[in-house]
Amino acid sequence: MLDTLRELMQPPPGMAFDFSQPPGEPALAPRDGVAWRVFANPVALFVGGVAAVLLELAEPSVRSGVWDHSSFRRDPQMRLRRTGFAAMMTVYGPRSATEALIARVVRMHGRVEGTTPDGVAYHANDPRLLDWVQATAVFGFTQAYHRYVRPLSARDRDAAFAEGQPAAALYGATGVPVSWAAWETMLAAAAPGLEGSPILAEFLDIMHEAPILPAPLRPLQRLLVRAAVQIAPEPVGSLPQLHGRGLRPGEAALVRALGRAAGVLPLGDTPPVQAARRLARSA
């Protein structure tokens, strides 16, 4: 089971990348930082990624941009792995390659624009939307680790936002929170505009049934999706599309056991292991 989750940490087909090269080149995120711990845990990655998307899809303009211009409905596994690879690069990748990757993403986002069903124009490179996407990602991964792997101190949760600033700035997100308190302020300000939609329910249905994990592990996949729903903050957590889709009694302990096991078992040659090897070598 953990081997399958670890496989999701690897670059997707056609995007092979050796995180161990070039020797000595630093990453955007500090090696001794919180992000290096969080992203090394496949359970936190899966749960946190789903939680972040729930928050993104609750914002009308982000929802339209994601749903109208991505391949998620056609191939959710590949879409998730491509997004996960980009996240891995921002934490573990050598700075030069990460900057080049983000520049390509920004150029792609430059072509993503449209109008929401309510008639509001949106553009993927709008700093307001970029701020929301970046902030919800940091929240999702950090909260998943905090709840299901190891509790993080208030200082660590602040650091998670601070460590994400260099990557956020490269994407064009200039107003991302720099602390947990600033995130809560952003969430409170955004709350009146967050809403449920059929797309939110469709996303959860896809995440339950898509072949992201092998068929024998599909119950585990659904458990981790429920764990993501469970950590969705208000007002998203109480949206009708999420009602009754969180963890059942006793399941939180099971997810924590999985998260802690994933944190102590050998990872194999995954991006965090390769990146540590890269930084251990002299430039």
Contact predicate 229/16, CB 8 Å: no
- pLDDT at position 237 is 97
What tens digit of pLDDT does each residue of 123-153 get? 999 999 999 999 999 999 999 999 999 999 9
Q: In the chain, what percentage of residues exceed pLDDT 70?
A: 98
Rounded mean pLDDT, 207-236: 95
Element spanning 222, H or E: helix 218-230
pLDDT at 37 over 70: yes
Confidence band (pLDDT; 50, 70, 90) for 266?
confident
- pLDDT at position 81 is 85
Nearest Cα to 1, choosing from 166, 217, 195?
Answer: 217
- pLDDT at position 2 is 62
Backbone angles phi and psi of 86, in degrees to 5: -60, -40
pTM of the model: 0.95
Which tokens hold the place of 275? 């990146």
CA dihedral of residues 135, 131, 34, 48 (deg, nearest 10) = 40
Q: What is the mean pLDDT of the chain?
A: 94
- pLDDT at position 154 is 98
